[in-house]
Amino acid sequence: MLRAVGAGPAVVVCSTCRFSADAREDERGRRGGALLTDTMRAVQALEPELAVVAVQDMPCLFACARHCAVHIRAPGKIGYVLGDFLPGADAARAILEYAVRHAASAEGAVRYADWPDGVKGHFITRTPPEGHVCT
């Protein structure tokens, strides 16, 4: 059930997420999460500074009411689950830009002023790193 991946900073994309609130798949039969994963990797290929964060995928993050969900994580840092994205380049870039800032932060907290506009309003939950809780 578990698959080993690198332990560094990552965006884990729900590969089975809906395309949108109204559609399970796009016109070609592809799920939104799979499209978002591919788009994020394509953005990284064009913008190597965003490739310091791994793009990983897994089926179902259990955020089904919030399509195109992602989990931003890094060792020893607060993690975040975000959703309600369209699987295009703008969303992919905003998620990756936030993830890079998250990875560079001391504990995973990024100042709101430094959030890309494309992630504002998309946060679902935050998760403390193992062995810690937030104060």
Q: What is the pLDDT of residue 45?
A: 98
Give domain limits for the chain. 10-127
Side chain identity, residue 41: R
Q: Which fold has domain 10-127?
A: Glutaredoxin (3.40.30)
- Span 77-88, pLDDT tens digits: 999 999 999 999
Measured distance between the N- and C-terminal CA atoms of the chain, rounded to whole angstroms: 33
Pairing of strands 70-73, 10-14: antiparallel
pTM (predicted TM-score)? 0.96
Secondary structure (3-state) at 75: coil
- Span 15-63, pLDDT tens digits: 999 999 899 999 999 999 999 999 999 999 999 999 999 999 999 999 9
